[in-house]
Copies of this chain bind each other. A is one copy, B any other.
Amino acid sequence: MSKTVMNPDPKRIITKFELFDEYWTHKIIAEFNNQYVKLAKLKGKFIWHAHEHEDELFYIVKGSLMLKFRDRNDVNLTEGEMYIVPAGVDHLPVAKEECWVMLIEPKSTFHTGSTQTGRSVKTEDQEWI
């Protein structure tokens, strides 16, 4: 039985963000069609990485986020804006101030894609909230 069925309560996004403080650590809030819906608080610069087989949807809940790319112009996103980073595209998220994002990506997606660093969170260590 999936978590979707086990936890069929409505998810109030803003309230879920009050449940954690760490930066750059995704929390899973829902599962559907083999995708996870995740929330993350971002601040500062992350690391360059790409997800070879998975598109990644970014939706900005609060604040603003710059996505830097090697093969296209940078993208600046603010509250209420959405952007999809296609599979295989190198990107670097940068948040000058704290930014809250909702991410949607396949369950198989590794935190830092094909890059492994001390900041990578293992897929099996991802926490549900």
Contact = CB atoms under 8 A, between A and B. Distances in A.
Interface of A: 2, 4-5, 8, 10-14, 29-33, 35, 37, 54-57, 72, 75-77, 80-84, 86, 104-106
Contacts of A29: 82
Contacts of A11: 81-83
A82 B121 CA distance: 25
Given A32-B57, A37-B57, A54-B33, A84 B4 contact: yes
B4 A37 contact: no
B81 A4 contact: no
B55 A4 contact: yes
Contact of A13 (B2, B37, B56, B82): B82
B37 A35 contact: no
A31 B83 CA distance: 10
Residue in A31, A55, A77 whose Cβ sees the most chain B Cβ within 10 Å: A55
B106 A33 contact: yes
